[in-house]
Structure 1
Amino acid sequence: MTSARWLDPEERQAWLALLAVTTLLPGNLDGALQREAKVTLFDYNVLAMLSEAEDRSLPMSELASRTYSSLSRLSHVVKKLELRGWVKRSPCAEDARVTMATLTEDGYSAIEQLAPAHVESVRDAVFDGLDHKDIADLERLGKKIVQRLEPSSWVLREPRINS
């Protein structure tokens, strides 16, 4: 039996802080979206990823990658969003084996209505307490962790947008 590589005190404090963020943040952001439109943070993220895609459409496999979900979980959520008239699925024109998810006009309207309050919740929960260096550090550290967990992540390929 091998001995555990225990965390040193500094690593333990960093781990507990990260664990607290990953535990508290989704519930905090979910709450506002649930009150506003009865959607979860994951639902919102699916809509947001489609709204940012070319033609507001993505193959389901790419959408799963961008939302860090399994195809099974994504299919369940897309079905729920289809019932609301916000997303539609269809075969890909170039390859019928591929299923495309497309944001409908009603879905685009929904994300437009939700986005201002959601971004304000994100600012309040995360960014208002950080300075520019903290934000750059958060991006750098987040991407480093994602690289270990999901090396092919789209976030690692996305160019940084300068404002």
Structure 2
Amino acid sequence: MSTLETENAAGRWLSTGEQRAWRVHLSTHKLLMHRLDRELDAFGLSLNDYEILVNLSESPGHRMRMSDLADATIQSRSRLSHQISRMESAGLVARESCASDRRGTFAVLTAHGWETIKKVAPFHVAGVREHFIDLLSEEQLQFLERAYLPVVDHLKKLR
């Protein structure tokens, strides 16, 4: 029996404070992602599209193996493939085969994709500032980073 199953069987429920913290985290995440996604919609992009464009724009040669891109964006290979197909249709990315591995495929940022990310990024960053960063003090931002790092580290080990 896993630790989670053991604790649930024993009825280890969240305290009132834990419940409030968990729910405010969920609400913050959902509302912020929804707002940022809606703002990107004005450019014909989703938050998932934007994340892919950012990853490709920051990669050497503006390309990534599809498997690495799926890992970086925490998507299944299948879901990413469908996403890339939609983005290919919009001219934002292209697929290229991998010379060293016949089964491997690269997602590559096109010139149109590069121009799009350069145009959209300032607006997206402004939204992140307006709806998150500028609402918190430097001390609060540092606290959030310290608070979330152990959670991120733990979850990365489980992948």
Flag whether TM exceeds 0.5 (same fold).
yes
Structure 1: runs of 5 or more not aligned: 154-163
Which residue of 1 is the match for residue 57 of structure 2? 51
* 1:82 alignment partner in structure 2: 88
Equivalent position amino acid for 1:7 in 2: L
- How far off its partner does 1:152 sit? 7.2
2:155 & 2:75 partners in 1: Cα distance? 13
> For each residue in 1:52-102, what CA deviation from the matched residue of structure 2 results, as whole angstroms up to 9, or x when unmatched?
011111111111111111111111111111011110111112222211111
Number of residue pairs matched by the alignment: 152
- What CA deviation, in whole Å up to 9, does each residue of 1:6-45 have, x standing for no partner? 111221111011110121111100111002x121111100
Match of 2:127 among 121, 124, 132: 121
Segments of 4+ moved more than 6 angstroms:
none
Paired AA for residue 134 in structure 2 = D
**What is the SS of the residue equivalent to 1:98?**
strand
Match of 2:27 among 6, 16, 20: 20
Structure 2: give runs of 5+ residues left out of the alignment: 1-7
CA RMSD of aligned residues (A): 1.6
**CA distance in structure 2 between the partners assigned to 1:7 and 1:141 by the alignment:** 18
